[in-house]
Structure 1
């Protein structure tokens, strides 16, 4: 399992790209088993160090376009950069996935891992007029002060400005509830982010 590593830090030999691939693929496949996926839509990503060993969020692994999450393996994940170039892998990245994840990785220092999906209960909450998670149950309490709310929704995120707006809406929070859309959960590792994703749906 990859260790939690903040962005903008020299990771030296701490980072193992193959371990990162395994962790991310496992999270995608486990999400299917827990009923947290939506067909071939939604996306998980993880930033990897640049060639100089610095983790800047400019290169990241992400699930390929058109693949059901139950089919994804470590080798099928795509490695791309902030300009949209595929650096490793034979698959492509869905446009909105690239916009959302690339801009969050670059702009949010603690977003080493970005999990974006449309989980049924959490997404239902984003459809309500005042869809905020109420701190009335112990699972919810672990998210007190950690959730930002994006009240704007103008359709698919297809340009960099929208990606930057979404990243800005996160502020200092690790979770973004996106009105009429879904949720984005970030973390320093796949394990940390996935743990939050799981308990958020149960909160």
Structure 2
């Protein structure tokens, strides 16, 4: 039986603010695994650490999402250099995508990227996300697309990622997957939950071999105000405490 990866605690080595960010980010990774959105070790969630350095936290390359802890997250700078040389290495493709967004979007505290089956399937469809469900309306009011350019390793792709995303919070990476940003980890997670569910509904609806009933375009224009009402202006924070309690009932190890 394989033993858990031993990772020394960083709780006493970082600020209280960074530690809370680490706990929430580790929770996001565990939740992605719990909901079946992980792709072995090959997707990423990042969180920017407050400060002028524009450092951010990202997952250690090679660790399963269900194994990630607050202390195992890797702090890197905008050039992809580990701040702590003893940390695990990171996925270079993950660094390209996330550093590009963190560099220009101060409002994007968290950037979440997935390769789910439903997400990739919708990303491969010419018309992208369709207004077929209530869930689809939230991302459709704030959605961007980025064309596939191969594995995201090239420095020059960053400028195109930045331009395509603009000020939007949702992005479909063509033939690749889904991406959300948020002012908090909770907001980015809720955004991904809704986008993922919209993609799942679309794939199942299209598989029914029946004529679709799209939602009228005018309704999309009112959805942002309605979203504020639904979450009582709290955004992802409305659901986040319950999600943390859910994780704690399963395994509190993400807090280590």
Task: Indicate the SS of the match to 2:167.
Answer: coil
2:157 maps to 1:122: no
Aligned partner (choices 143, 146, 160) of residue 142 of structure 2 = 146
Aligned counterparts of 1:45 and 1:165: Cα–Cα separation in 2: 19
Report the number of matched residues.
183
Q: For each residue in 1:129-166, what CA deviation from the matched residue of structure 2 results, as whole angstroms up to 9, or x when unmatched? A: 222x122311112223211012x212111122112211
Aligned partner (choices 60, 68, 71) of residue 64 of structure 1 = 60
Unaligned ranges ≥5, structure 1: 1-13
Matches within 5 A, 1:35-184: 35-50=36-51, 54=52, 58-88=54-84, 90-131=87-128, 133-150=129-146, 152-184=147-179
Aligned counterparts of 1:115 and 1:123: Cα–Cα separation in 2: 15
Q: Is the 8 A contact 1:107 1:164 kept in 2?
A: no
Q: Which has the higher helix share?
A: 2
Q: Once structures 1 and 2 are overlaid, which stretch shifts more, 158-167 or 26-35?
A: 158-167
**TM-score normalised to the size of structure 1?**
0.85
Aligned counterparts of 2:56 and 2:157: Cα–Cα separation in 1: 19
Task: Indicate the SS of the match to 1:74.
Answer: coil
Aligned counterparts of 1:74 and 1:15: Cα–Cα separation in 2: 12
Aligned counterparts of 1:169 and 1:108: Cα–Cα separation in 2: 13
After TM superposition, give the deviation of residue 197 of structure 1 in Å.
Answer: 0.5
Q: Which has the higher strand share?
A: 1
Structure 1 segments, 4+ long, off by >2 Å, are none
Q: Is the 8 A contact 1:116 1:184 kept in 2?
A: yes
**TM-score normalised to the size of structure 2?**
0.68
Aligned counterparts of 1:179 and 1:194: Cα–Cα separation in 2: 20
Aligned counterparts of 2:107 and 2:75: Cα–Cα separation in 1: 19
Unaligned ranges ≥5, structure 2: 1-14, 199-256
Q: For each residue in 1:3-56, what CA deviation from the matched residue of structure 2 results, as whole angstroms up to 9, or x when unmatched? A: xxxxxxxxxxx9700000000000001111101111111000000123xxx4x7
Aligned counterparts of 1:140 and 1:199: Cα–Cα separation in 2: 7
Aligned counterparts of 1:165 and 1:202: Cα–Cα separation in 2: 27
Larger of the two Rg values belongs to structure: 2
Aligned counterparts of 2:79 and 2:186: Cα–Cα separation in 1: 27
Q: Which residue of 2 aligns with 1:187?
A: 182
